[in-house]
Amino acid sequence: MKDKFKEYASRMTAPREAILEFMSRSSTHLSAKEIYTSLHKKHPGIGMSTVYRTLDLLARMGLVTKLALGDGQNRYEFKAKDKSDHHHHLICTRCGTIINYSEFLEEELTLVRKTEKKLAKKYNFIIEDHNIEFLGICEKCKGSEKI
Amino acid sequence: MKDKFKEYASRMTAPREAILEFMSRSSTHLSAKEIYTSLHKKHPGIGMSTVYRTLDLLARMGLVTKLALGDGQNRYEFKAKDKSDHHHHLICTRCGTIINYSEFLEEELTLVRKTEKKLAKKYNFIIEDHNIEFLGICEKCKGSEKI
DNA sequence: TCCTTATTGACATTGATTCTCATTATCACT
DNA sequence: AGTGATAATGAGAATCAATGTCAATAAGGA
Ligand SMILES: [Mn+2]
Ligand SMILES: [Mn+2]
Ligand SMILES: [Zn+2]
Ligand SMILES: [Zn+2]
């Protein structure tokens, strides 16, 4: 891992190690502040700036995904190298709940690849990633509908 | 249209009409400030707050889509009722360029519907919309790669 | 161990979005 | 057309995520 860091022109430091370790252990979609706060218990020294800078670095390294959901703060999620970790999102527009789903149909993956190829050619684009999200009302919010 | 507004608990006002009219005429993905500035020429009276409030209203009405791309400002796009207007995005992670594409394969639409149905059932979700975006490097940015 | 310099953290600053509130304008009802 | 209740507005303040500044620190090659 130290090597991977160097590749991105960086020294391996304690804060970076702590943040990466923390991210790799959490499975949710966390805001920078949530990460900062959680980390603060064991690592009181780590500042907010470093959290942002490191998350940005990890995103560039491809170890973390940055999610923009339009609620005023970005969220970050660890991305295992393991392909089986790849997933898409189901987002509740009422309460913000995010569900990961990865029970893809084979068709789904095949089609994504086919579409990528088509778009890359037509628009002369290098396609590196994709986001697919379905928006709606979650189970809980459905329940507390009538007020 | 006036009726549609009322349905959403609203009076029809000059600023709202101006903003809706402007949005329906533009075909890009505009930030609130861009909308404010463009509008300011013909309607110097309209304030920033009203732009935000009206965009939010239009989004709730389903006339406008709010895009969160994680670059620190949301963008808004008019959504014609016309189904043929539906499209997905191709986004350059270097320069932010957004390309609409809508040459869907039939498969694509079929699959989205099938996936929606599957997810709705499994997670007990009411699915109302979806976003699909491909990220990468656009033609222009590919050109100015080596610096 | 020493030295260069990448990295850090405290703090300031920016900038998008939201809030506040006195003023204005819409529209239902005469 | 006139009136009144009140929804909506706009100027400015406030909030708050994210970025910038910079002196102090620490990583790691020599
Ligand atoms: Mn996820
Ligand atoms: Mn678009
Ligand atoms: Zn919900
Ligand atoms: Zn580009």
Higher-pLDDT residue of B55 and A70 is B55
E strand or H helix at A140, and its extent? helix A139-143
State the pLDDT confidence band at A1, using cuts at 50, 70 and 90: low
Interface test with A, best of B118, B123, B142 (most A CBs within 10 A): B123
The total of other beta-carbon atoms located within 10 Å of residue A88's CB is 20
Work out if B88's Cβ lies within 7 angstroms of strand D.
no
Question: Cβ B131–A131 below 8 Å, yes or no?
Answer: yes
User: Which pair of tokens denotes residue B84?
Assistant: 């043929």
With a 7 Å cutoff on the CB, does B34 touch strand C? Answer: no
Contacts of B121 (CB under 8 A, 6+ apart): none
Distance A9 CA to D30 C1' (A): 19
pLDDT band of residue A147 (cuts 50, 70, 90) is very low
Strand partners, B104: none
Tell me the domain boundaries of chain A: 1-82, 86-147
Assigned architecture for domain A86-147: 2-Layer Sandwich (3.30)
Q: Which CATH code fits B1-82? A: 1.10.10.10
Structure tokens at B91: 């986004």
Give the tens place of pLDDT for each residue, B85-135: 889 999 999 999 999 998 877 788 889 999 999 999 999 999 999 999 999
Q: Do A114 and B105 touch (CB under 8 A)?
A: yes
H-state helical runs in chain B: 2-7, 14-25, 32-42, 48-61, 106-123, 139-143
With 0.85 as the threshold, say if the pTM is over it.
Answer: yes
Residues of B in contact with A111 (CB under 8 A): 105, 107-108, 111
Give the pLDDT confidence of A23-82 residue by residue, as tens digits: 999 999 999 999 999 999 999 999 999 999 999 999 999 999 999 998 899 999 999 888
The answer to whether the CB of A12 falls within 8 A of the CB of A2 is yes
In this prediction, residue B64 has a pLDDT band, given cuts at 50, 70 and 90, of very high
Q: What is the pLDDT of residue A45?
A: 95
Residues contacting B68, CB < 8 A, separation 6+? A68, A69, A70, B74
When pLDDT is averaged across residues B6-16 and rounded to a whole number, the result is 91
